[in-house]
Amino acid sequence: MRGMQRVRVKLARTTLALAPAAALLVGASVGQARPTQGHGSLVQNARLSQCSIVVSGAPWHARAAGGRISGTTYRLVARGMSCSSVRDRVIAFTHQPGTARIKGPAGFTCRSLSTSASGDNLLYSGVCMHPPHNQPFFEWGPKIPGH
């Protein structure tokens, strides 16, 4: 039983650490597709620029080896749009329940990457992508202390 708990803790920790990078990999695997016209001010330019900023949001808590980790900061990454254009939206997302329907900007499909294994019930991690090529996109997740 103790070995199973370790596996769950490792899985939760890995999910927390990798969630922000997951959408980058999904977006990069699609290729260098250019966003279509009509995204308004959300699209910074057609060269698919990338940005990363740290924002403060709702407190998050997660189980980890040796106890729990927590914080109030999140890493926001965007590609093909500016981070500042979705900053306030991401902060609002962090205050929603993890099972809540995520309503992103017009034309975007948003998904929660939060898991119940984290021990938190808030929408601490997610991604919003613009179909059909999933670009531009933005994602957010907890900023793990020391990373």
Q: Examine residue 147 and state whether it is found in any structural domain, yes or no.
A: no
Q: Examine residue 123 and state whether it is found in any structural domain, yes or no.
A: yes
* pTM of this prediction exceeds 0.75: no
Cross-strand pairs, 22:
none
Number of structural domains the chain divides into: 1
> 96-136, pLDDT tens digit by residue?
887 777 888 999 999 998 876 666 678 889 999 999 988 89
Q: What is the torsion angle, in degrees rounded to the nearest 10, for the CA atoms of residue 96, residue 98, residue 99 and residue 100?
A: 20
Q: Examine residue 88 and state whether it is found in any structural domain, yes or no.
A: yes
> 35-60, pLDDT tens digit by residue?
444 444 444 344 568 999 999 999 98
* Burial class of 58 by CB neighbour count within 10 A (0 to 12, 13 to 18, 19+): middle
Range of the domain at 102: 2-142
In 47-136, DSSP assigns E strands to 50-64, 67-79, 109-112, 126-129
Q: Examine residue 12 and state whether it is found in any structural domain, yes or no.
A: yes
